[in-house]
Amino acid sequence: PELQQRGLGSYLLQKVGEEEKLAGIDMIGSSFSATQNLLCFWNKAGFSMLRMGFSRDHVTAAHSAVVVKALNAEGGHIARVLAEKFQRNLRLWLKGPLSDLSAEVRAYLLTQLQGDSDKVSEQDRLDIRSFALFNRNYEACMPAITRWIEKMDVSQSTLNERDRDIIGSCVGMNQWSDVVKELGLRGRGQAVQQLRIVLKRLLESED
């Protein structure tokens, strides 16, 4: 503890970055249990946030964070695209899978927010398809799915009433336990599978 707050960590990171850049590495990164102090430290060191884990670590009871720092132009492009996607999705994640973040971490992330958009992008469409057709994790695709559904008039679609209920419950509720109860299902797995089926139908109706 007596060696903390003396700039040693920042100095070491600087040296690591210099050596890896000389070695031709595109970027360096870190994953850690997120606290406000650690997020501030990595941000001050020039690292961009790319991801927050959707579940708490069983040891630290904190969500994990992933940060990177670009060392060249190619790394800068990749880091910028991923950081912008994280920023764009953050508000929706905070209402859903990241709703149990600590107040301090939530407040910090909101201060770093650079803006978002409810426009459905091409990347959103790729995320939606990857969930509906290729079994990708729902939480990662949840913001894209939400933006897409909110822009759509589901009542005018070819979906039946049950399908519309599935869409409404999955997009409108933050907890899977609430979705399962509302729809009378056996568990989260069944709810996710039914959502995949409905989204696939919507995608097919657009083609």
Mean pLDDT by 10 residues, the chain (207 residues): 65 93 96 95 94 90 96 96 94 92 94 80 95 94 94 82 91 85 93 95 84
Q: How many domains does the chain have?
A: 2
| 117 domain-assigned | no
pLDDT of residue 200: 94
pLDDT of residue 156: 74
Judgement on whether residues 127 and 196 belong to the same structural domain of the protein: yes
What is the C-alpha separation between 88 and 114, in angstroms, rounded?
8
Judgement on whether residues 70 and 107 belong to the same structural domain of the protein: yes
pTM of structure: 0.87
pLDDT of residue 153: 82
Taking alpha carbons only, the member of 19, 92, 21, 27 closest to residue 66 is 27
Host domain of residue 106 = 8-112
**Dihedral (C-alpha) 92, 93, 99, 102: value to the nearest 10 degrees?**
-120
Judgement on whether residues 17 and 105 belong to the same structural domain of the protein: yes
Beta strands (DSSP E) in 57-202 are 63-70
Token couple for 172: 């409108």
| 101 domain-assigned | yes
pLDDT of residue 108: 94
Q: What is the 8-class DSSP label of residue 197?
A: H
Judgement on whether residues 157 and 78 belong to the same structural domain of the protein: no
Judgement on whether residues 93 and 126 belong to the same structural domain of the protein: no
From the centroid of its chain, how far is CA 126?
Answer: 15
Q: What is the largest CA-CA distance in the chain?
A: 66
Expressed in angstroms, the distance from the first to the final Cα of the chain is 60
What is the C-alpha separation between 132 and 81, in angstroms, rounded?
23
What is the C-alpha separation between 167 and 183, in angstroms, rounded?
11
pLDDT of residue 57: 87
| 168 domain-assigned | yes
| 3 domain-assigned | no
Judgement on whether residues 187 and 129 belong to the same structural domain of the protein: yes
Token couple for 50: 């790319």
Residues 174, 96: contact at Cβ < 8 Å? yes
| 1 domain-assigned | no
Token couple for 7: 């700039």
pLDDT of residue 3: 47
Q: Which of 87, 112, 137 is the last residue of a domain?
A: 112
Judgement on whether residues 130 and 105 belong to the same structural domain of the protein: no
Q: Quickly count: other Cβ atoms within 10 Å of residue 39's Cβ.
A: 21
